[in-house]
Amino acid sequence: MQIIETIGNQNLMNREKTLFLCSKMTPIGLYGKVFKWTDSLTEKDCIACFNSTDMESEVLKALLVAKVPVILFVMNRFTDGNNIQIERALQENRMLIVVLRRNEPRGKGATPRLRNEYVLSICQNVVCGYVNKNGSVFPLLAGRKDVVNLVDENTCSMVAEQNSQHERWTVAQDKILLRMFYNDMGIHAIHKQLQRTYTAIYSRLHSITLSEELLKGREFEDYVLSLFNIQEDDELILQEWQGDKSYGKVKAENNRNPDFVFRYRQNEFAVECKWREKLSRDLSKDLFPIKRIENYKHFSEVRHMPVTIILGVGGEPCNPELLYKIPLNEIAPIISGNLSIASYLHPVFSFDVSMFLRPEENTKERAYTLSEKREKYPNAYKPWNTDDDKLLVTLHYENKNIKELVSIFKRNEGAIQSRIKKLIDKANREK
């Protein structure tokens, strides 16, 4: 493992550190045991942690709310920049974010285990919440004498919360719940404020907010929409935006349609957005179920417009690591194995509208667009050379605004923004 970036108070690395570890699928009835420990900590402590499981995420939130110094370890890049509590902790110099990258060759083991081993090696103490003996955490702790287990065998068998509450939630309580939830304060802070069980809080949040799956889907839709740069193109119109609304098992018929319908001049096209943490082995079950693909084909035929699948993989829905652009009519050969999905990897994180039009429309529109754009941007669609790249990066770090860069390079805003991102990402990978 190597450290590729640090954000925040680097002096925290010099302090005595306690690593918090917890297995996945921690029973909610054990949360109280873990939070009793977080409540005992002060500003004199320094806790190292991850944010890859539900329990780890909630412990991180509890530590930040309690203003306990924290070192958060993440892999490859930090993507939670909009978290209110993290932003506040960084401003107050009580947090350090350490971004790691694997440098071990294949065959040395799984990345999460290597990450855990590395952080264990630099921490003086270890505190464990629930540890599954059949999981990956348990073997790492064998023989260590600096490990404190918050949950023993007897506790594991008593996972039900006591004094379950069934009182009706009031409007005032709902307001407090939502305010604290959207302020990233976590389930423990809400529990202490409202005196409700963790189970009751999770249940109420689920009933009055979007599910995590729908929330991530909507977040990725927002991201995809931003790649079209609609505000800068008066001829590109977002005509329809489907919402995954339902009442129990009752769903609107248009929920089966693609997420977006656009109009560009006289042509229409549709886009379906999907984000996954990682690609499954069986794409036909997860990404491209037969019934769903048939719905899109029916939509395409009835509405006389092409449909394209935009797939984000890894990272966060608002900042995926990989982006794929897959025409609907090429899904079948991908599922059959005749074509690799890697062929549809989209290297530039911006979209040219012409890529979504039918072939005959694409040829006509692209020729027209190219001549038209070169009247305004003489270098439109021309290859970037090395000198241009160096100058662009230099001017970017000199805080030249986008309009100044447009004037210098004679290219549109989208082309410049995508080139900057590509060059910066390349530089970060080479560090």
- Annotate the chain with three-state secondary structure: CEEEEEEECHHHHHCCCEEEECCCCCCHHHHHHHHHHHHCCCCCCCEEECCCCHHHHHHHHHHHHCCCCEEEEEECCCCCCCCHHHHHHHHCCCEEEEEEECCCCCCCCCHHHHHHHHHHHHCCEEEECCCCCCCCHHHHCCCCCCEEECCCHHHHCCCCCCCCCCCCCCHHHHHHHHHHHHCCCHHHHHHHHHCCCHHHHHHHHHHHCCCHHHHHHHHHHHHHHHHCCHHHCCCEEEEEECCCCEECCEECHHHHCCCEEEEECCEEEEEEEEEECCCCCCHHHHCCCHHHHHHHHHHHHHHCCCEEEEEEECCECCECCEEEEEEHHHHHHHHHCCCCHHHHECCCCCCCHHHHCCHHHHHHHHHHHHHHHHHHCCCCCCCCCHHHHHHHHHHHHCCCCHHHHHHHHCCCHHHHHHHHHHHHHHHHHHC
In sequence order, which residues have a C-beta less than 8 Å from that of residue 208 and are 6 or more positions away? 174, 177, 178
Contact 279, 340 (CB under 8 A): no
Q: What is the pLDDT of residue 297?
A: 92
Q: How far is CA 210 from the centre of its chain?
A: 16
Q: For residue 270, which of 235, 233, 231, 297 has the smallest C-alpha distance?
A: 297
Q: How many CB atoms within 10 Å of residue 41?
A: 19
Q: What is the pLDDT of residue 403?
A: 83
> Residue 154: left (phi > 0), alpha (psi -120 to 50), or beta?
alpha
Q: Which amino acid is at 3?
A: I
Helix axes 84-91, 54-65, angle to 10 degrees: 50
**Exposed/middle/buried for residue 395 (C-beta within 10 Å: 0-12, 13-18, 19+):** middle
pTM score of the predicted model? 0.54
Contact 97, 50 (CB under 8 A): no
* Cα gap 99→77, rounded to integer Å: 6
Q: What is the pLDDT of residue 157?
A: 45
Q: What is the pLDDT of residue 159?
A: 47
Contact 138, 128 (CB under 8 A): no
* Cα gap 308→326, rounded to integer Å: 6
With b for 16 or more beta-carbon neighbours within 10 A and e for fewer, the 224-245 pattern comes to: bbebbbeeeeeebeeeeebeee
Contact 71, 49 (CB under 8 A): yes
**Structure-token pair, residue 88:** 């506040």
Q: For residue 169, which of 218, 203, 137, 139 has the smallest C-alpha distance?
A: 203
* Cα gap 287→280, rounded to integer Å: 8
Q: Which amino acid is at 262?
A: F
* Cα gap 28→188, rounded to integer Å: 12
Q: What is the pLDDT along the chain (431 residues), one digit of tens a residue?
A: 889 889 999 999 999 999 988 877 777 777 888 899 999 999 999 999 988 888 888 999 999 999 999 999 988 888 877 889 999 999 999 999 999 988 888 778 788 888 888 888 888 888 888 777 776 777 777 777 778 888 765 555 444 444 445 577 888 888 999 999 988 999 999 999 998 888 888 888 877 776 667 778 888 898 899 888 776 667 889 989 886 655 444 455 556 789 999 998 888 999 999 999 888 777 877 788 888 889 999 999 999 999 999 999 988 888 888 999 999 988 888 888 788 888 888 887 788 888 898 765 554 444 445 566 667 778 876 778 888 888 988 888 888 888 888 889 888 887 788 788 778 877 776 66
Q: Which amino acid is at 35?
A: F
